[in-house]
Amino acid sequence: MNILLADADLCVKCGLCLPHCPTYTKTQNENESPRGRIALIQAWAGGHLDTSKKLIEHVDNCLLCRACERACPAVVPYGRLVNNFREQVSAKRRSTLAAALLKTVSQNKQAAGLAQSGLRFYQRSGLQKTARLLKLPNLLKLDRVDRLMPDYQESHALAPFYPATTAPKGTVGLFVGCMGALLDYETVNAAVTVLTAAGFNVAIPAQQGCCGALALHDGDGKTFSQLAATNCSAFADGDLDAIVTIASGCGSQLQDYQQTEFAGKVIDISEFLIQSDCDFSARLAPLTASACLHTPCSLKNVMREEQGAVKLAQQIPGIKLTQLPATTHCCGSAGSYMLDHPQMAEALLGDLLEVALAKQPAYLLSSNIGCALHITAGLRERGITLEVLHPIVLIARQLKSS
Ligand code: SF4
Ligand code: SF4
């Protein structure tokens, strides 16, 4: 309890975080604000509040987007506070079947393999179309998972090492985590293509696994610690100059690991390429199209590396790059939040799409797979055709073979 009080007591109740909070903006309810949640946790940790369903609900309604943390002048470690609270009340928390399924697939390689084969069969056999017509996913309470399923991408086993294809500058480890190759093989492939073209050898340790974010946000600190230890051991090679991530949701979690040697090497792929002075402009085919850049909360509020994606995408000759206003809130995906809190997730997505679509982009770029899946599902449900992809995929597509 003392860890909670020590963190909660840092809050001076100034309220500067309130306009940045998506759940407060939507509800105008103090209990759905960062300040309100901190006060609730503080009262509970001080023994003034029972562990009620309502208390847990208010804290669970938080997206952990950490926009409040970025805005806070008192530097309250809000993410840590909520994670620790959820761990302490984990026995009383409940998650949906869909969220439990996502956790299982992310933490178990055999389950992930089965899910991949299942996805292939589900889509290729036409079963998905029939099941949707019969509303089977709704009956099984799996409609939130079904809506997120991306089109199956044919993938190949990843090699442990890809050598640089130009004069070598160094060696990086590529973090693909649990879902990378399963749901977003094109991004994994693009990352290898661009990094090797930039002169970096790329190591992809097979031992790596889930970053642990889903477990930690669910109050399961024990599983999180095990996953963190596995990843630190997988990337223990001291020769790695950096550990590059292609999903900012994972990257933000890896940077929060207590193992500082590992955490200090973690960096978003776009930021890494920019910091390494990689200029691709002369090697990229022009693209006369407009692209709207979506900046995931994890990239902006936790990794604080959002400029990398902007600068990288701007290297494509002819591209008209637009960005969402800084006031744009979380898209609502937030790990398994979109499965457990569909109404809030949909309301936030609606706001974001309204702003993004007004720019009439040909592409929507996002550096986080969770956001990309949620946004893609929202576009599909609205009957809108707009490709959502990682900035590194656009760079790889435009890269001229030399
Ligand atoms: S969390 Fe920070 S910004 Fe929000 S009320 Fe507390 S001190 Fe102020
Ligand atoms: S993490 Fe996001 S949703 Fe949660 S209180 Fe902070 S701003 Fe609000």
Per-residue pLDDT tens digits for 69-110: 999 999 999 999 999 999 999 888 777 776 777 777 777 776
Closest-lying ligand 1 atom to the alpha carbon of residue 13:
5
Largest alpha-carbon pair distance within the chain? 68
With 0-12 CB in 10 A as exposed, 13-18 as middle and 19+ as buried, what is 154?
exposed
Domain final position from 275, 298, 314: 275
What is the band of 354 on the pLDDT scale with cuts at 50, 70, 90? very high
Cβ of 66 closer than 6 Å to ligand 2, yes or no, is yes
Cβ of 72 closer than 6 Å to ligand 1, yes or no, is yes
pLDDT at 278: 96
Domain final position from 92, 111, 139: 92
pLDDT at 42: 97
Average pLDDT over residues 273-277: 97
- Closest to 192 measured CA to CA, from 242, 151, 246: 246
Cβ of 19 closer than 6 Å to ligand 1, yes or no, is no
pLDDT tens digit string along 359-388?
999 999 999 999 999 999 999 999 999 999
Do both 340 and 364 map to the same domain?
yes
Closest residue (by CA) to atom 3 of ligand 1? 72
Would you tell me how many other CB atoms lie within 10 Å of the CB of residue 1?
A: 13
Cβ of 41 closer than 6 Å to ligand 1, yes or no, is no
**Tokens, residue 374:** 């949620």
Cβ of 65 closer than 6 Å to ligand 2, yes or no, is yes
Cβ of 16 closer than 6 Å to ligand 1, yes or no, is yes
Average pLDDT over residues 314-339: 94
Average pLDDT over residues 171-180: 89
pLDDT at 347: 97
Do both 268 and 329 map to the same domain?
no
Cβ of 22 closer than 6 Å to ligand 2, yes or no, is yes
Residue 68 Cα to ligand 2 middle (Å): 6
**Contact by Cβ (8 Å): 271, 353:** no
Residue 51 Cα to ligand 1 middle (Å): 23
What is the band of 348 on the pLDDT scale with cuts at 50, 70, 90? very high
Residue 335 Cα to ligand 1 middle (Å): 24
Share the mean pLDDT of the chain. 91
Residue 36 Cα to ligand 1 middle (Å): 10
Closest-lying ligand 2 atom to the alpha carbon of residue 37:
5
Closest-lying ligand 1 atom to the alpha carbon of residue 16:
3
pLDDT at 121: 67
Do both 176 and 242 map to the same domain?
yes
**Contact by Cβ (8 Å): 76, 84:** no
Do both 83 and 144 map to the same domain?
no
Cβ of 156 closer than 6 Å to ligand 1, yes or no, is no
Cβ of 74 closer than 6 Å to ligand 1, yes or no, is yes
Do both 394 and 301 map to the same domain?
yes
Q: What is the total count of domains within the chain?
A: 4
Do both 137 and 170 map to the same domain?
no
CATH number at residue 43: 1.10.1060.10
7, part of any domain: yes
Residue 61 Cα to ligand 2 middle (Å): 9
**Contacts from 220-228 at CB under 8 Å and sequence distance 24+?**
220/87, 220/90, 221/83, 221/87, 223/107, 227/107, 228/257, 228/258, 228/259
Highest mean pLDDT among 145-149, 153-157, 236-240: 236-240
Cβ of 81 closer than 6 Å to ligand 1, yes or no, is no
Residue 153 Cα to ligand 1 middle (Å): 44
Closest residue (by CA) to atom 8 of ligand 1? 14
Is the pLDDT at 1 greater than 60, yes or no? no
The ligand that comes nearest to the alpha carbon of residue 217 is: 2
Do both 83 and 141 map to the same domain?
no
pLDDT at 87: 93
- Rounded Cα–Cα distance for residues 379 and 357 (Å): 10
Do both 120 and 82 map to the same domain?
no
168, part of any domain: yes
Cβ of 98 closer than 6 Å to ligand 1, yes or no, is no
**Contacts from 123-126 at CB under 8 Å and sequence distance 24+?**
123/149, 123/151, 123/152, 124/152
Closest-lying ligand 2 atom to the alpha carbon of residue 64:
1
313, part of any domain: yes
Do both 211 and 285 map to the same domain?
no
Lowest-confidence region among 83-97, 103-117, 166-180, 280-294: 103-117
Do both 51 and 107 map to the same domain?
no
What is the band of 120 on the pLDDT scale with cuts at 50, 70, 90? low
- Rounded Cα–Cα distance for residues 155 and 188 (Å): 10
Domain final position from 256, 275, 294: 275
Task: Find tokens 């790059």 and name the residue.
Answer: 321
CATH number at residue 325: 3.40.50.11810
- Rounded Cα–Cα distance for residues 25 and 34 (Å): 11
Do both 222 and 311 map to the same domain?
no
**Tokens, residue 219:** 């109050």
By DSSP bridging, strand 266-268 and strand 320-323 are unpaired
**Contact by Cβ (8 Å): 101, 339:** no
Residue 58: give the domain boundaries: 2-92
Average pLDDT over residues 223-245: 95
